[in-house]
Amino acid sequence: MNLSRQIRKVGFTLIELLVVIAIIAILIGLLLPAVQKVREAASRLQCTNNLKQMSLGVHGHHDVFNRFPSGGWGWYWVGVAGRGTGKDQPGGWVYSMLPFVEQKALFELGGASGSAADQAGNAKRCETTVGLYNCPTRRDRGPFPNGMGYSYYETSPTPAMMARTDYAACAGDYKCELNSGPGTIAAGDLPSSWNGIAGEIPLMTGVVFVRSEIKFSDITRGTSNTYFLGEKYMTINNYRTGGDPGDNESMYTGFNNDVFRHTNTNGPAQDTPTVTNTDRFGSAHAGGMNMALCDGSVQFIAYSIDPVIFKLQGRRME
């Protein structure tokens, strides 16, 4: 008997191995989209929750001061401790909401004395991130490089990094920035310093804008019909670079398009790789974006929304 004929060979042939690999590749290909959908659903839910927590902070602020936080002075200003949250506060809504989103220590950092310690505190805040202000679908919380080398009044040294936000307050349906603001605290306290934009203030139709002090009673369209906060449009290629002119500064700045948008923009839009728009609301989500209304609710707004309806939703009055 030839024993060699009775020995059965064990193992895969090359063809069998290739078939197995092909089957595994097909299964992975089928699985990945499902995993990505689950991940995006979780990220969108977190984004919704971020806006809900900010809405609660807005209402908490109104409960204490009987008004919404102000929009600040301009793009050369960041939050300055000791000057409240109204028209005398150079920083914008992100700064003024800090005590109402469990960030009181960050709110109290620095000051307006002009001392080296206060200016260093103001500069440090420019770099300090708060996870609540970033959408996980788009990017992590940073901080991100200060690629343009921006510096601000009452801050020193120039921040090397920047905390940036994916959310913007609704300035209405007119503009989302005007100018850099006065050059000093003392100048900002003079009514005459605001004469140059006095004619534009009445055109601000939203609930937060330069030196605003809007109350619930000022929202005559109804709080459930008026936007307060939402996701801002960005260019995909500049999520981390600071190369988008609507995302190149610290999130603690005053009235400017890094932290404000308006609704007179032919509706919101999904982020794209190259097209820049510093006025528009938008997001990295497919199909639409999240907006928080003045009643505290958060709605998913389709990119296909009627632009006329979207524009009107940015107005606090009829």
Per DSSP, the residues of 120-180 read HHHHHHHH---GGGS-TTT-----EE-TT----TT--S--SEE---SEEEE--SS-S----
CB 168 within 8 A of CB 278: no
Element (H, E) at 239: none
- Residues with Cβ < 8 Å from 42, sequence gap 6 or more? none
Of the ranges 10-19, 28-37, 59-68, which one carries the lowest mean pLDDT score?
28-37
Location of structure tokens 């193992």: 11
% of the chain at pLDDT higher than 70: 93
Indicate whether 101 pLDDT > 60.
yes
The domains of the chain are located at 19-313
Pairing, β 269-270 against β 260-261? unpaired
Indicate whether 205 pLDDT > 60.
yes
User: Tell me: the pLDDT tens digits for 117-148?
Assistant: 999 999 999 999 999 999 999 999 999 999 89
- Residues with Cβ < 8 Å from 5, sequence gap 6 or more? none
Phi-psi region of 203 (alpha: psi -120 to 50; beta: other; left: phi over 0): alpha
The predicted model gives 265-282 an average pLDDT of 96
User: Tell me: the pLDDT tens digits for 275-304?
Assistant: 999 999 999 999 999 999 999 999 999 999
Location of structure tokens 């006095």: 198
pTM: 0.88
The alpha carbon torsion through 204, 205, 208, 213 (nearest 10 deg) reads: 80
Average pLDDT of the chain is: 92
Q: Cα–Cα distance between 296 and 51 in angstroms, integer?
A: 9
Of the ranges 1-10, 29-38, 142-151, 282-291, which one carries the lowest mean pLDDT score?
1-10
pLDDT for res 12? 61
pLDDT for res 8? 54
pLDDT for res 21? 78
Is the sign of the CA dihedral 86, 313, 99, 96 positive or negative? Answer: negative
pLDDT band at 3 (very low <50, low <70, confident <90, very high): very low
- Residues with Cβ < 8 Å from 3, sequence gap 6 or more? none
